[in-house]
Homo-oligomer: A and B are copies of this chain.
């Protein structure tokens, strides 16, 4: 949680409602042919109208120049120091398939792979074995027994699975078994510090059993593990801000992140229209909503500038409906930028705006990178955005006498 002593003392519960709309991969960069970014290219009458009555700015998710993953990007928006509360790959993969992770649970990302008769890797992804074929194999791994621990192996997709080990005294400083190359044998899991020895031993036992279990097969006959990670000890979002938060997100990873910070995850469908239905139905039940919009990031990652423009326009079509629910504070923000020209997450600061009773506009005619760069909120760490949302909702008392 944001490093502000006495935060909970100055937060107060009121009837006002905050909606934090996170547009995944929101920010972009100008297309060289037009000099306009995706946001500047898209026809966004509703977002632009909202911008005309909002205060705007740019958020820095982690630090100048640093490209955040989805985990740090969201944690920062929720007010958590994204470095202090960095979640490892194993944890995020587990959250991405709705695994209920608790404090002290050790998670790892697994690959089914293919080894030859000498045990050397010939295919790190087991020929990208389809889910229908891999799921029964992962279920066999799920039956593996490691004395003193609970073992859970769960399929993700194709050759990917998640391993969760539960028990006392597990730590995550364990070397990866995936050598990230073929022609050699998988590496042995080694403890990288004293506290991780028990966990490393358990991992070796699991791998030995996996070899035995899958060993008779021609391909997908071995398992590799990496991204060992424990869920960090996370302060509760609702208790920190004195909110009763609800999360509406179509994609499992974002539901997972919301859940581990203590938000109530409200079941919803796979489209944003369904998310909006869910929000409407439950609008009376919470004073804070995290609402997640995924398509903009996917299109950006695909490197498809026009497709990203279209996802933003599709989002715009829903904004009036969102405004009609009359949240006291509507925040439109992004977890990071995903410029189509990079076809990847990027380090660029992310546009954001806050609309509330206390914003009357500031000559920001549109919602895009350039307009927000001139906004009165300036360029702020993403971790401070929640405080601004709280302030605009009348939920923050005076700090100090």
Interface check A307, CB cutoff 8 A: no
| A92 and B401 contact, CB distance less than 8 A | yes
A interface majority secondary structure = loop
| A401 and B345 contact, CB distance less than 8 A | no
Q: CA of A400 to CA of B35 in the docked complex: distance in angstroms?
A: 31
- Chain B residues whose CB sits within 8 angstroms of the CB of A380 once the complex forms: 64
Question: Given A35-B361, A65-B387, A65-B388 in contact, is the A72-B400 Cβ separation under 8 Å?
Answer: yes
Of A66, A345, A369, the most chain B CB neighbours within 10 A belong to A66
| B369 and A376 contact, CB distance less than 8 A | yes
Looking at the complex, which of A145-153, A196-204, A271-279, A391-399 is the stretch in contact with chain B?
A391-399
Question: Chain copies in the assembly?
Answer: 2
Interface check A170, CB cutoff 8 A: no
Interface check A70, CB cutoff 8 A: yes
Q: CA of A358 to CA of B376 in the docked complex: distance in angstroms?
A: 26
| A378: contacting residue among B4, B58, B347, CB under 8 A | B58
- Chain B residues whose CB sits within 8 angstroms of the CB of A396 once the complex forms: 65-67, 347
Total residues of chain A contacting the partner, CB 8 A:
68
| B63 and A387 contact, CB distance less than 8 A | yes
Q: CA of A71 to CA of B385 in the docked complex: distance in angstroms?
A: 24
Closest-by-CB residue of B relative to A36 is B360
| A358: contacting residue among B2, B342, B349, CB under 8 A | B342
Instruction: Identify the 9 closest CB pairs spanning chains A and B, nearest first.
Output: A65-B387, A64-B384, A69-B400, A65-B391, A378-B379, A72-B400, A65-B388, A89-B401, A347-B391
